[in-house]
Copies of this chain bind each other. A is one copy, B any other.
Amino acid sequence: MENIVVKYTDEVTLNDPILIEGLPGVGNVGKLAAEHLIDEIGAKLMAEIYSIYFPPQVLVNDDGVTELVCNRLYYARDVGEEKRDIIILTGDYQGMTPQGQYMLTDKLLKIGNEFGVKTLFALGGYGQGSMVNKPRVLGAATNKDMVEEAKKIGVVFDREHPASGIVGASGLLLGLGNKLYDIQGICLMGETSGYFVDPTASREVLEVLISLLDIDSISFEALDDKAEEVEELTSKVMDMDLGSNVGQDTKSEHLRYIG
């Protein structure tokens, strides 16, 4: 097999599409946001990407049926007031090694480039290491114009954050996109504790995204329901922490898998 295999499930032509990435990461903020967006705008699967850079693993769904771990590309047409075509990237894992990260990101940019992508939005979380009450959305972009535009709607560009830069698929999409494919991009990072999946941070990130994209307001109901569920479970876990350790592991485990 090739190191990366792209299997198109739909023959698609798109008009000047933008690329939105939400892969697993801190608090699963980016993945939750991407999946919510896919649901709300009715995006359709266009390709699956298998790779030796992913873990050698199948997932098993509720029917007992296996699915090879992969990344997935979805598309939607005429989204929002500006009628933009959109490609959304999400998946089960990011590449497992630095080399894998580079190779996968480069492949995804190549695909985006073929479809005419000129702009991308990388969604993720920024782990604060402590509970976050009202998550801000931190940003970094490949050029000053995008920085300025995002500042206007409240995205925070803080010279201390992220201190060590942006690691992983979000960072590389911006870095390689800019240097090798002339694709400009911005990374939107919702503040999160980093301890749990965080649908609240995902919502904040999505609000910024739909504002930047002039997408008609979308419903956040499903995301809010998840946030509530997490809230409930974290409260219980914290109560238990004060009481005893019995059962805690199972609950924490559960928490991580919501979404």
Contacts and interface: CB of A to CB of B under 8 A. Distances in A.
A65 interface: yes
Query: Which of A51, A65, A174 has the most chain B CB atoms inside 10 A of its CB?
Result: A65
B140 A66 contact: yes
A43 interface: no
Q: Which 8 A-B pairs have the closest CB atoms?
A: A68-B175, A64-B157, A56-B101, A52-B102, A58-B175, A59-B165, A58-B171, A1-B106
A126 to B, nearest CB: 12
A176 B67 CA distance: 9
Given A56-B168, A140-B60, A180-B1, A67 B175 contact: yes
A32 interface: no
A134 interface: no
A64 B139 contact: yes
B52 A103 contact: yes
Among A51, A57, A139, residue most surrounded by chain B Cβ atoms (within 10 Å)? A57
